[in-house]
Amino acid sequence: MTLPSVTAIIPAAGVGSRMNAEHPKQYLSLAGKPILSHTVELLLSHPQITKVIVALSPEDRYFNQLDIAAHPDVTRVEGGKERADSVLNALNSMKDNSWALVHDAARPCVPLDDISSLLSVMSRDDVVGGILATPVRDTMKRAHTDNKACVSHTESRENLWHALTPQLFPNILLQRALSKALSEGVAVTDEASAIEYVGENVALIDASPINIKITHPADLPLAEFYLHQRMKAKDICE
């Protein structure tokens, strides 16, 4: 049986201002190489991912200096002002009958087994795609609207999930959903929110919590620890 073609999309046109760094956060060093290099190499190592498209700012002057820039299965497209614009530009460069696996540049620690679990939704009839996610474990507090430093009330965490990436959907469906949401002024916080807006079912794939997003400087040592653990496990297996 021939497996559907899967193309990974990495929206990486942001500047990562919360890192307080001179470079966009995807180019900060992590375990000896830029974060973006780790993420691209990880995706390319999965046997079902045939191509990686990186959406970058037109002013990006770092990407072409990376080894991954010359990889035959890596292409660059121009990113947009918002994440959804960058993803749309990448989708427009894909084949119509392919699947898009959208992943954050700053998530280099996602386990390959979790990606495989996500890709299994391609054979399901009850959903159009899926996302990696983790159930909310902490008590959730809602802040006051007029005083965000004070608790208004406690929210139930029942049936609440943290949405992660990758997120996987058919190219054409995701194109149409994003275009519709953007044209109608709907806030698109991730790809699944656009799919939800057009009324389709999205699978939640319970995933490992090590799939952290590097957002603040304190995230870097933890991400490096997870990467070293993965390298040790790989060495043991080999």
pLDDT in tens, 20-35: 567 789 999 999 999 9
Q: For residue 96, what pLDDT is reported?
A: 78
**Highest averaged pLDDT of the listed ranges 10-14, 103-107, 225-229:** 103-107
Q: Which two tokens stand for residue 126?
A: 């009850």
Domain of 122, in residue numbers:
6-133+163-237
pLDDT at 211 exceeding the cut of 90: yes
Whether residue 113 is contained in a domain is answered as yes
pLDDT at 230 exceeding the cut of 90: no
Q: Which two tokens stand for residue 23?
A: 């470079």
Whether residue 47 is contained in a domain is answered as yes
Whether residue 140 is contained in a domain is answered as no
Whether residue 145 is contained in a domain is answered as no
**Which one has a higher pLDDT value, 162 or 148?**
162
| Alpha-carbon distances of 73 from 10, 27, 69, 201, rounded to whole Å | 13, 20, 9, 31
Q: For residue 8, what pLDDT is reported?
A: 98
Ranges 13-22, 109-118, 119-128, 139-148: which has the least confidence: 13-22
Burial of 206 (0-12, 13-18, 19+ CB in 10 A): exposed
Mean pLDDT over each residue of the chain, to the nearest integer = 93
- Which domain CATH number covers 173? 3.90.550.10
Collapsed DSSP state (helix, strand, coil) of residue 21: coil
Strand-pairing partners, residue 77, are 55
Ranges 20-24, 90-94, 113-117, 137-141: which has the least confidence: 20-24
Whether residue 149 is contained in a domain is answered as no
Give Rg (Cα) of the chain: 18
Whether residue 206 is contained in a domain is answered as yes
pLDDT at 238 exceeding the cut of 80: no
Whether residue 96 is contained in a domain is answered as yes
Whether residue 167 is contained in a domain is answered as yes
- For residue 67, what pLDDT band results from cuts at 50, 70 and 90? very high
Q: For residue 24, what pLDDT is reported?
A: 86
**Which one has a higher pLDDT value, 232 or 113?**
113
Average pLDDT over residues 76-82: 95
Q: For residue 121, what pLDDT is reported?
A: 97
Cis peptide before 221 (omega within 30 of 0): no
DSSP states along 102-136: E--TT-TT--HHHHHHHHGGGG-SS-SEEEEEEE-
Q: For residue 237, what pLDDT is reported?
A: 53
Burial of 110 (0-12, 13-18, 19+ CB in 10 A): buried
Q: Give the total number of structural domains in the chain.
A: 1
Q: List all residues 6 or more positions away from 238 whose beta carbon is below 8 Å from its beta carbon.
A: none
Q: What are phi and psi of 22, to 5 degrees?
A: -75, -30
> Using an 8 Å Cβ cutoff, are 62 and 24 in contact?
yes
Could you give the angle at the alpha carbon of 194 between the alpha carbons of 189 and 195, nearest 5°? 135
Q: For residue 190, what pLDDT is reported?
A: 97
Q: 140-143 and 151-155: which strand pairing? A: antiparallel
Q: Which helix (H) or strand (E) holds 24?
A: none
Task: Report the phi/psi class of residue 18: left, alpha or beta, with left for phi > 0 and alpha for psi in -120 to 50.
Answer: alpha
